[in-house]
């Protein structure tokens, strides 16, 4: 037994006191007087550490720097839905946030950046997805540019079924209305981006337990750089998608869809900014923080601040629900039982 952690736990808002036992929390049974607010670590469910820009080869030293930037921001779990890293079973580094691996991007002809990701035909996609999901997740590029056809519904359905049969989960990149529709009807586990998602699909997403990761930070940065594009159709598509994204987040939350926070951008460690975008889009503050913390952890199968849970804790000097800006200023960070800051 070692480090003591006391404060007000979110989301329960109850006083707690733990001692660290290895990588686990153990309830101490003592009263708490620490005036700190505790989260079970922040979570970025859509990040690509190890590369700066599409087309870059995987760089493990860069991966470490990216993950350390996440850690410094209080992000103690990262899901990487798509990576250029060929070693899908790379061991966790105990100094770095926990990693939910997503395999390589699985891209069929005419979709995704040229020569990037694992290139497969539509016929090969179900088997390839099952192979890549051995780490838990696989990532399918479900559509691409605004006028490109998405992966056909029957192919995507077969892919989801193949992955589920081996115990994996499927994240689908989709931004067009038809691509989003196919991802939902195919029964995928998460819909990434969803700029032009039809709101009539939201009740089905909620019923299926499908998560929605709107990546507003990334879409916003694309919008800011539209002057570099010479394609007027692409510009119109991004602008209309940006305007559609905000009411979609609000409608998704209201429909009972699990909305999660994923930055999909560099520099790493910007999840507090993504949470701020979710709040601006109309999510209640507590729900938006949960989207980047306890809700995301639960969805990934990780415990919160409970006896026997992981000793992953971020402490703040004020209540983040009352003042979300404190998420930018963690007072104390404990990862796998080790005090980081």
pLDDT higher than threshold 60 for residue 89:
no
Beta bridge partners of 339: 334
Residue 102 has a pLDDT of: 83
Query: DSSP character for 318?
Result: S
Query: DSSP character for 107?
Result: E
* CA 59 – CA 45 distance, rounded (Å): 20
Output 150 or 341, whichever has higher pLDDT: 150
Contact 173, 208 (CB under 8 A): no
Global pTM reads 0.96
Could you tell me the residue ranges of all domains in the chain?
A: 41-302
Q: What is the pLDDT of residues 112-159, one digit of tens each?
A: 988 788 999 999 999 999 998 866 899 999 999 999 999 999 999 999
Q: What is the pLDDT of residues 9-49, one digit of tens each?
A: 999 999 999 999 999 999 987 766 678 999 999 999 999 99
Mean pLDDT to the nearest integer, 210-233: 93
Contact 141, 182 (CB under 8 A): no
Residue 296 has a pLDDT of: 98
Helix, strand, coil percentages in the chain from 3-state DSSP, rounded to 5: 35, 20, 45
Fold of domain 41-302: TIM Barrel (3.20.20)
């Amino acid at each position: 037994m070692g480090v003591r952690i006391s404060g007000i736990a979110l989301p329960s808002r109850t006083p707690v006191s733990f001692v660290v036992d290895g990588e686990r929390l153990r309830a101490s049974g003592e009263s708490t007087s620490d005036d700190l607010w505790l989260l079970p670590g922040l979570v970025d469910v859509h990040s690509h550490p190890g590369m700066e820009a599409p087309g870059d080869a995987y760089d493990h030293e860069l991966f470490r720097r990216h993950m350390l930037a996440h850690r410094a921001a209080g992000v103690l779990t990262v899901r990487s839905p798509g990576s250029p890293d060929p070693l899908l079973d790379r061991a966790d580094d105990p100094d770095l946030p926990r990693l939910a691996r997503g395999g390589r991007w699985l891209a069929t002809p005419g979709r995704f950046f040229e020569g990037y990701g694992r290139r497969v035909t539509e016929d090969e996609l179900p088997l390839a997805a099952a192979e890549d999901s051995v780490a838990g997740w696989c990532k399918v590029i479900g559509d691409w540019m605004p006028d490109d056809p998405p992966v056909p519904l029957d192919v995507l359905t077969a892919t989801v079924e193949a992955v589920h049969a081996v115990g994996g989960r499927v994240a689908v990149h989709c931004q067009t209305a038809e691509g989003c529709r196919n991802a939902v009807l195919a029964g995928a586990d998460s819909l990434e981006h969803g700029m032009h998602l039809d709101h009539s699909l939201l009740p089905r997403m909620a019923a299926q337990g499908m998560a929605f990761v709107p990546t507003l930070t990334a879409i916003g940065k694309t919008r800011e750089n539209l002057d570099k594009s010479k394609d007027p159709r692409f510009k119109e598509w991004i602008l209309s998608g940006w305007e559609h994204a905000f009411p979609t987040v609000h409608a998704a939350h209201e429909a009972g869809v699990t909305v999660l926070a994923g930055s999909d951008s560099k520099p790493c460690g910007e999840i507090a900014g993504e949470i701020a975008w979710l709040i601006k889009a109309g999510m209640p503050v507590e729900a938006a923080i949960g989207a980047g913390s306890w809700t995301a952890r639960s969805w990934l199968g990780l415990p919160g601040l409970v006896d026997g849970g992981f000793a992953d804790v971020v402490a703040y000097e004020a209540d983040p629900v009352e003042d979300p800006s404190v998420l930018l200023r963690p007072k104390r960070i404990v990862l796998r039982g080790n005090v980081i800051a």
